[in-house]
């Protein structure tokens, strides 16, 4: 995963500046950040407050955690499946083991 971005407190302060009536362009210029970044933060804030539809920050975090857990479980399953295949290849049907020396 890449860079985590700006701290939540910084984003909150930028949104507070927007709420005072300052323009996105002036804030972006003064803080040397992309205006698109500010628009994205404003959009996410509106989603979090329920003003527009979309996944909230909490829902996004839960979804990321679930996807990470699924990936871990898929890897664990793949390793287990491979181990079973290796063990099957090493064991004869009568229970005798074949060993290659």
Residue with tokens 């984003």, as numbered in its chain = 11
From 3.30.420, 1.25.40, 1.10.10, 3.10.290, which CATH number describes the 1-54 domain?
1.10.10
**How high is the pLDDT of residue 90?**
85
Alpha carbon of residue 30 to chain centroid = 30
Per-residue pLDDT band at 24 (split at 50, 70, 90): very high
Mean pLDDT of 83-88: 94
pTM of the model: 0.69
Q: Is the pLDDT of residue 1 over 50?
A: no
- In angstroms, rounded to a whole number, what is the distance separating the alpha carbons of residues 84 and 72? 18
**How high is the pLDDT of residue 60?**
96
Q: Is the pLDDT of residue 89 over 50?
A: yes
**How high is the pLDDT of residue 96?**
57
Mean pLDDT of 10-36: 97
Structural domain spans, the chain? 1-54, 61-101
Mean pLDDT of 33-55: 97
Per-residue pLDDT band at 97 (split at 50, 70, 90): low
- In angstroms, rounded to a whole number, what is the distance separating the alpha carbons of residues 77 and 83? 10
Mean pLDDT of 64-73: 98
């Amino acid at each position: 995963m890449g860079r985590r971005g700006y701290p939540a407190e910084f984003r909150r302060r930028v949104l507070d500046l927007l709420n005072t009536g300052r323009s996105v362009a002036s804030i972006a210029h003064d803080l040397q950040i992309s205006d698109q970044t500010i628009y994205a933060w404003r959009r996410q804030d509106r989603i979090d407050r329920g003003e527009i539809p979309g996944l909230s920050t909490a829902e996004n975090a839960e979804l990321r955690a679930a996807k990470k857990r699924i990936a871990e479980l898929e890897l664990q399953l793949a390793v287990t499946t491979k181990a079973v295949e290796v063990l099957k290849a090493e064991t004869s049907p009568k229970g005798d083991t074949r060993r290659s020396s």
